[in-house]
Chain A
Amino acid sequence: MTLTEVARSLDISPATLRRWVAEGIVPLRDGEWTPAALAQARLVARLRARGHSLEQVRVAAKQGRLAFGYLEDLFPEAEVEYGLADAARETGLEPELIRRIWSAAGFSAESLEHLGEDDLQLLQRLGAVLDAGLPLVAFLQLVRVYGQALAQIADAEVKLFHLYVHEPMIRDGAPVLDIAEELSDLASELLPLAGPIMDFVHQRTLQHFLAQDVVGHLELVADDAELGRVRVAIAFADLAGYTRLTEEVGEEEALEVVERFVDVVGETLPDTARVIKTIGDEVMVVGTDAAALADWAVGLVALSTERPLPRIGVHVGSALYRDGDYYGRAVNLAARVGARATGGEVLVTREVRDAAGKNLLFQPIGEVKLKGFGEATELFLAGVR
Chain B
Amino acid sequence: MSASFESAKELREVIDKIFSMMDADPDMGPKLRDADTPQRFEFSDFDAVVNIRATRGDEAGNLYWEWSDDVDWDSKVQMTMSSEVANRYFQGKENVPMAVARRRIKTGGDLKAALALIPITKPIYDQYRDYVEREKPHLKV
Chain A residues within CB distance 8 Å of chain B: 99, 108-110, 113, 260, 263-264, 267-271, 292, 294-300, 302-306, 357, 359-360, 384-385
Contact = CB atoms under 8 A, between A and B. Distances in A.
Interface of B: 27, 95-103, 107, 110-112, 114-116, 118-119, 122-123, 125-126
A263 to B, nearest CB: 7
B9 to A, nearest CB: 30
Contact of A298 (B27, B96, B101, B115): B101
Majority secondary structure of chain B interface residues (helix, strand, loop or mixed): helix
A110 B96 contact: no
A304 B98 contact: no
Nearest to A261: B115
16 contacts: A110-B122, A110-B125, A264-B118, A267-B118, A268-B115, A292-B98, A295-B98, A296-B101, A298-B97, A299-B98, A303-B97, A303-B107, A304-B115, A305-B112, A384-B100, A384-B101
A299 B111 contact: no
A294 B97 CA distance: 10
Nearest to A96: B27
A297 B102 CA distance: 12
Contacts of B126: 110, 113
A360 B95 contact: no
A262 B112 CA distance: 14
B99 A299 contact: yes
B126 to A, nearest CB: 5
Contact of B95 (A108, A270, A294): A270
A247 B126 CA distance: 42
A268 to B, nearest CB: 5
Interface centre among A305, A306, A359 (most CB of B within 10 A): A305
A306 B112 contact: yes
Contact of A109 (B95, B99, B112, B123): B123
Contacts of B27: 99
B96 to A, nearest CB: 6
Contacts of B125: 110
A304 B112 contact: yes
Contact of B114 (A263, A294, A303): A303
A241 B112 CA distance: 17
B119 A295 contact: no
Contacts of B103: 359, 384-385
Contacts of B99: 299
Contacts of A296: 95, 97-98, 101
Give the top 4 A-B pairs by smallest Cβ distance, nearest first: A299-B97, A299-B101, A295-B101, A299-B100
A292 B102 CA distance: 10
A108 B96 contact: no
A306 B111 CA distance: 9
A108 B101 CA distance: 25
A115 B95 CA distance: 26
Contact of A108 (B100, B118, B122): B122
B115 A295 contact: no
B111 A305 contact: yes
A99 B27 CA distance: 10
Contacts of A300: 97
Contacts of B110: 305
Contacts of A306: 112
B119 A263 contact: yes
A321 B119 CA distance: 31
Interface centre among A110, A298, A384 (most CB of B within 10 A): A110
Given A267-B118, A299-B96, A360 B123 contact: no
Contacts of A109: 119, 122-123
A111 to B, nearest CB: 9
Contacts of A359: 101-103
B85 to A, nearest CB: 14
A297 B100 CA distance: 10
